Every structure is written in C-alpha cells, then in structure tokens.
Amino acid sequence: MRVLLVNKFYYPRGGDCVVVLNTESLLRENGVETQVFAMEYPENLQAHYQEQFASRVSFSGSKSEQWTALKRTLGLGDVKDRFEAVLDDFKPDVVHMHNIHSYLSPVVGELAHKRGIRVVWTLHDYKLLCPRYDCLLAGKPCEKCFDGAKSNVITHRCMKGSLPASVVAWLEALKWNRSRLEKNTDMFICPSQFMADKMKSGGFDSRKFIVLNNFLDPVKLQQYQALDPNAAREDYYCFVGRISAEKGIENLLEVASRLPYRLKVAGTGTLEPEMRLKYAGCKNIEFLGMLEAPEVAHLLAGAQLSVMPSQCYENNPLSVVESLCAGTPVAGSDIGGIPELINSENGIIFQPFDKESLADAITTSMAKQWNHDKIAGEALQRFAPDAHIRHLMSEVYRS
C-alpha cells in the first residue's frame, strides 16, 4: 500500500503537524510506503518530493503576495500542477489529508478523487463548519455558520477583526462547500465523538465518519511507560498548553492565586508576557516557559493534578492524553472532546467559564486519593499506536 500524507507544513509546528509526523513514522514502521506533500517552507524537514511542494504563500506580505495567497485558498496557482506531478510519480492508493485549507487547498482531495484514489481526511479543527475554524465569537463558542450561512464570518469580522480577511474566509467557504468536500472525501477521521457530532449537525453524512483518537508516538510512549506512576508526587498541580484566552488560562491563574496550592505553568502564547507580569508577585504560581517532551513527562509525573480549563471546542487534546499516560488525574472543562477522556476514576469535570466550579474541582482533586497506576495503565493502552494502526489499515484505508 502507498499512502500520500498531505499537510500545510512538514515540521513539528503545531498539533496537526505532530500528528502527521507521528502517522508517517507509524505507517513506515508497519511496512506502508509513505510520502508527503506540503507547502514550501524553510523549516520543513527533508522530503522526497520537496521540489514539488506547493510554492510558499503569505497572507501578510505585499499586495501581490496576498493576491497569490487568495488564489491558493480557491485552489488556483501551482498547487494543482505540483500535486498532480506527485500523484503521477508516486501513484498512491490513499491520499490522507490533514490541515490543508488556505496554505494548500481542498483541491488536492478533488484531484485525487477524480483519479479514483481513496481520500481520507483527519479533522484537526472545525474549518469545514466554521470559516474561522475554531467556533469562537467574542471568546465564546459559536455555531452560527453550521447551518450553511457562512456570511456570518463577514458580519462579525471573525478573522482577526479584519473585513478583507473575513471576506477571503467567506469566499473559501463558498468554494469548498459541504457538498463538494463530502463528494471528494471517502472518510473523515474525527479524533473525538464531539467532533463527529458537530459534523453531523452541520449536515455532513455520518456514514463517512470514523471516531479515532490520536495516539502517542512510540518515543513518547516509551517515555511514559518508563515512568513509575506510583512514585512520590510533589505538592503542585500543573497546566501544559498554549497561554492564550481560549485555553481559559486567565480564569485558572486568577483561581490559582487564591488557592493554597502551587501551580506550575508550562507553555508559551500571546498572553504569556501579560500573565507573567500580572502574577509576578504570586509565590504559588510558577511559569516554566516551553518545555521539551521529556521535561513535560517529568512535570506531569510529579504533579498531583493537571488542569485543562479550556473555553473552546477542544478536539482530542494531547495535554490531557499525556497527563493520563503519566498516571496524573485531570480537572477538565466540560466542553468539546475533553469530557470523553475523563471519568470519575481519572479526573473531574467542571463548568467552563465558571471560576468557582474550577476552584472546587481543583480543591476536590487535590484532596482525593487517586489510583495513579490504573490511570496510567488504561491510558497507555487506549492511546497506543498499535491500536491506531489497526483501525487505519482495516477500517480507514480500505473501503
């Protein structure tokens, strides 16, 4: 079998890119011939077809560059010729798309479908339902565009408050509408049931969905398997993730400042400088900055609890997965795919946007005796790559 993975970027830029790299490694380890198609970018890893990657576009450059980028969103420019050249040479059995809007284009799926190639699409965000992609309006969940009325993105200037950017997102949504995307895709991989439910509410055919959680790559899996979940834990809880508004970090820090427990915050983001300054005098809050994977594992393994206070439609958050694999319970918002990962034996759910509910969840969790060994054992089995590859090969890649 030959599988062509398609993603905007080909380096560990974000969660979607990490999933692509992990999937590539997993497929190759299981004897699947794999290649990649992406957009040209300086940080990209070396790839066999890198000379055929779609040319780089920028939405923040000159007028000419912005015009080229606009055409890319509509599937115009060199992306078609370059992708077809790869199809001609590699002759894949499956085209597995990931994050492709804007910097590439759904045209790649259309081109593959016309050749009779099986097209699979892993959904990392809600772009097929929401032109903005994250279903947020004024910091709160929004589903105004789910019924097909994509003009809301213009009405509310959802793209960074910019009318031109919002018009581009609207045009892109019109061009790549539900019926067109659905026609050219054989199966959508939804990493959470929540994602699948939202796709169904947006009119997509549920017969084309499969719910398949993301997995821990073998290197990380070994790191967490090597941990002793029953080792003595320190007197702190932690947050691992992006320090930005939609992650609920402001509520968490406000709550943490008045609770008698130590909070360690790992990650960076747009709010980091402001939050560091605001809580500089708070002795029970420590900002660690960006940590490498082994450092994250060590942080989680030593914590009493990790907190996921998101205020957005999380899909299948890796920070929750890794915490559970370390045997560390999670206090998570009742939003998106988070509740699917948490039960009464591995964590606690609280109401998003509600600071008192968050404070109660932290206090209750810190006082509870958890079975760390059981938490880790169940998570390591659930998120193992072996289970993921079995589903890919038997249910996703074969019709």
Question: What domains can be seen in the chain, in order of their start residue?
Answer: 2-215+384-396 (3.40.50.2000), 218-382 (3.40.50.2000)
pLDDT digits over 272-282, tens only?
999 999 999 99
- Partners of 262 in the beta sheet? 236
pLDDT at 244 > cutoff 80: yes
Amino acid 41: pLDDT: 97
Q: What is the mean pLDDT of residues 230-248?
A: 95
Measured distance CA(21)–CA(41) in Å, rounded? 16
For a pLDDT cut of 70, what percent of the chain falls above it? Answer: 100
pLDDT at 28 > cutoff 90: yes
Amino acid 14: pLDDT: 83
Indicate the DSSP class of residue 8.
S
DSSP 201-245: HTT--GGGEEE------HHHHHHHHTS-TTS---SEEEEES--SG
3-state secondary structure at position 116: coil
Indicate the DSSP class of residue 281.
T
pLDDT at 47 > cutoff 80: yes
pLDDT at 399 > cutoff 80: no
- Partners of 189 in the beta sheet? 122, 210
Confidence of residue 60 (pLDDT cuts 50, 70, 90): confident
Amino acid 219: pLDDT: 87
Mean pLDDT for all residues in the chain: 95
Amino acid 27: pLDDT: 96
pLDDT at 218 > cutoff 90: no
Amino acid 387: pLDDT: 87
Q: What is the mean pLDDT of residues 314-339?
A: 96
Count, residues in the chain: 399
Q: What is the mean pLDDT of residues 340-369?
A: 97
Task: Extract the tokens encoding 130.
Answer: 């929401």
Q: What is the mean pLDDT of residues 96-119?
A: 97
Amino acid 147: pLDDT: 86
pLDDT at 37 > cutoff 90: yes
